[in-house]
């Protein structure tokens, strides 16, 4: 298991970057990764996350930008890296202010642990 440090916008962006199809094994790994990346019900309440019927997501701006640990399996991380590299190769990564931070941490493997003041433990 590996720990990523992600804020709310990064978590929802990462969900969009996950593969959209694959083998039955991939689907199982995707389901597990999605559960870990998507904010829990208690986090949604704590962070003021509101999902509109249109799919738009809003959150408490101040609380949502705090980095939180998200633990994923090595297999899930490998799948995420492969997906991001494939999107990059196709020049299909979304234009989003958080994409570079995700790329650095996930694909480049740059360690990013927030300071104690900036981090929140789940």
- Domain borders along the chain are 2-107
Q: pTM of the predicted model, to two decimals?
A: 0.84
Mean pLDDT (whole number) for 29-50: 94
Mean pLDDT (whole number) for 47-70: 94
Contact criterion met (CB below 8 Å) for 40 and 46:
no
pLDDT at 21: 85
pLDDT at 80: 92
Helices (H), the chain: 8-17, 24-37, 41-46, 61-64, 74-89, 99-102
Nearest-CA neighbor of 102 among 89, 115, 83?
A: 83
Mean pLDDT (whole number) for 87-108: 92
């Amino acid at each position: 298991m590996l720990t990523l440090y992600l804020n709310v916008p990064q978590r929802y962006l990462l969900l969009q970057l996950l593969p959209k199809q694959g083998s039955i094994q991939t689907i199982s790994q995707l389901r597990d990764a999605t559960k870990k990346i998507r904010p829990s019900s208690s986090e949604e309440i704590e962070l003021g996350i509101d999902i509109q019927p249109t799919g738009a997501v809003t959150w408490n701006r101040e609380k949502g930008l705090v980095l939180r640990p998200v633990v994923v399996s090595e297999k899930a991380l490998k799948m995420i890296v492969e997906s991001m590299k494939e999107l990059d190769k196709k020049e299909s990564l979304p234009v989003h202010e958080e994409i570079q931070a995700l790329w650095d941490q996930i694909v480049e493997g740059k360690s990013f642990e927030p300071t104690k003041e900036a981090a929140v433990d789940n």
